[in-house]
Amino acid sequence: MNREDSKIATAVAREIRSIARAVDAIVHSIQRGGRLFYVGAGSSGRLGVLDAAECAPTFGTSRKLVQALIAGGRRAVTNAVEGAEDLVRNGELDLRAKKLTPKDVVIGIAASGTTPYVLGALKYARKCKATTVAVTANRNMPVARIAKILIAPEVGPEVLTGSTRLKAGTAQKMVLNMLSTAAMVRLGHAYENLMIDLLDTNEKLSERSVRILAEASGKDLSAAKHALRQSGHNLRVALVMLKKKVDAPSAKLMLKTSMGNLRLALGES
């Protein structure tokens, strides 16, 4: 298995140009007020759910910005819902319920490239003039003919024949990591390589926020903790406070004046 897994990164690397095109599309969409939807079934659907769930706490975005639809609904996240993926109509219905618009991006995840649920969703997305992306392991399947952008890391036969949760699933996870992370960085939800919009919702993340602020500002941990408290635990505001040597209200005003552009507020653009 390990020997076969070593082929995955190479397969993904061959798709970098397509991944970059998809990132451009996602950024353009979100800048216009659009949303990102992952659509999948089984293991592919669960990978979409995982990536969507991580975007809000990692990048401080609304949970409505990146959403995941899985055949069979919430129950399918932890249990196999037999036959849920077999109805083309269900993919359309689930997207229709989200009031899809031309500003949105729909990413269909299907290792086989033939999942009816995903095909139905992509067909409906195309009808709505939303941007469509397919992430699959086979570029010669129906999903490739429907999507505007095709990302197809061809990882070859699985060690356990037909078990696409292995190499194909790992390749999908790597691609989704790239799509969401690169798009969010482009949209300003990072400072250098630091998660400046991290939500400190527990003790571990609160400590991480302090370390991020200290590294970003060049100040010690004590100064970082104090600035975070004064800012109401807003990393952006705290960073402006420390780097520009201003109080919290002034930092908030500087960010507001720069339309939320952190680098512009810091005079680094």
For domain 2-186, give the fold: Rossmann fold (3.40.50)
For domain 203-265, give the fold: Helicase, Ruva Protein; domain 3 (1.10.8)
Question: Annotated catalytic, 203?
Answer: no
Give per-residue pLDDT as tens, 17-75: 999 999 999 999 999 999 999 999 999 999 999 999 999 999 999 999 999 999 999 98
Q: Within 13 Å and on the Cβ side, how many CA atoms surround 99?
A: 2
Please say if the pLDDT value at position 235 is more than 90: yes
Query: Do residues 11 and 137 touch, judged by C-beta distance below 8 A?
Result: no
Q: What is the pLDDT of residue 205?
A: 87
How far, in Å, CA of 231 to CA of 81, rounded? 46
Question: Annotated catalytic, 54?
Answer: yes
**All CATH 1.10.8.1080 domain ranges in the chain, comma separated:** 203-265
What percent of the chain has a predicted confidence (pLDDT) above 70?
A: 99
3-state SS track over 124-190: HHHHCCCEEEEECCCCCCHHHHHCCEEECCCCCCCCCCCCCCCHHHHHHHHHHHHHHHHHHHHCCCC
End-to-end distance of the chain based on CA atoms, in angstroms? 46
Give per-residue pLDDT as tens, 71-97: 999 988 988 776 777 778 999 999 999
Q: What is the pLDDT of residue 79?
A: 85
Please say if the pLDDT value at position 225 is more than 90: yes
Measured in degrees and rounded to the nearest 5, phi and psi for residue 125 equal -60, -40
Give the burial string for 2-32 (b: 16+ CB within 10 Å, else e).
Answer: eeeeeebeebbeebeebbebbbebbbebbee
Please pick, among 15, 85, 92, 158, the residue that the annotation labels catalytic.
85
SS3 199: coil
Q: What is the mean pLDDT of residues 239-267?
A: 94
**All CATH 3.40.50.10490 domain ranges in the chain, comma separated:** 2-186
Q: What is the pLDDT of residue 49?
A: 97
Measured in degrees and rounded to the nearest 5, phi and psi for residue 79 equal -135, 150
Please state the length of the chain: 269
Q: What is the pLDDT of residue 200?
A: 81
Sign, CA torsion 156/159/164/170: negative
Please say if the pLDDT value at position 215 is more than 80: yes
How far, in Å, CA of 117 to CA of 91, rounded? 5
Please pick, among 4, 54, 154, 215, the residue that the annotation labels catalytic.
54
Give per-residue pLDDT as tens, 154-199: 999 999 998 889 999 999 999 999 999 999 999 999 999 999 998 8
Give per-residue pLDDT as tens, 106-149: 999 999 999 999 999 999 999 999 999 999 998 999 999 999 99
Tokens (6 digits) for 98: 């989200």
Tokens (6 digits) for 206: 């609160």
